Amino acid sequence: MKKNIKMRKIAGDFAENKDIAKKMRIEIIMPALSKGDEVCLDFEGVSGATQSFVHALISDPIRELRNVAFDNLVYKNANENIREIISIVYRYMQESLDGNKVG
């Protein structure tokens, strides 16, 4: 099953409210991914997002579910800035997860 989430409707024009990101993660994203569903975050109409917001939204799915999150979490209509922030979070989460295995 595929779950479409209209980000603008929930997070507004500029996605910065981490409380909203946390709620989305706990109530929508994690349960859907854990069931094996695909989750599509649609950023149509969202002009920007902070790194903190994106971190609160997707870092835990990456940390907890790894490949399930990489395979089943997709992003639609994200502008260049939002794509860059999502990519940054993907990169540093993977770097740091590997790091936490060591030592």
Partner 1 sequence: MRNFKGFAESLDLSNPGKLEIATHDKWVTVHPANLVISAALAIQVGKSNAEIIGDVPETGRYLDRMGLFELTQTSSPFVYQKKEEAGRFVPIKVIKTSVDQSHFITDVIPLLHLSEKNATVVKYIIGELVRNVLEHSFAKNGAIVAAQYYRKTNRVSIGICDTGIGIWKSMNTYWHPKTDIDAIKLALTPGITGTTRKEGGTAENAGAGLFFIKSIAKINRNYFVIFSGSAQYTLLKHKKRIKGMPRLYADPARDPHSETNLLPSFQGTVVAVDISLDETPEFNDLLSSIGDVYDKAIRERKREKYKKPKFI
Residues that bind partner 1 (CB under 8 A): 12-14, 16-20, 22, 25, 47-48, 50-53, 55-56, 59-60, 63, 80-81, 83-85, 87-89, 91-93, 95-100, 102-103
Cβ nearer to partner 1, comparing 27 with 84: 84
CB of 98 to partner 1, least distance (A): 7
Give the CA distances from residue 100 to residues 42, 47, 80, 93, 94, in Å, rounded to whole numbers and listed in that order.
31, 34, 30, 10, 10
Cα 70 to its chain centre, rounded Å, is 10
Cβ nearer to partner 1, comparing 50 with 77: 50
What gap in Å lies between CA 98 and CA 39, rounded to an integer?
25
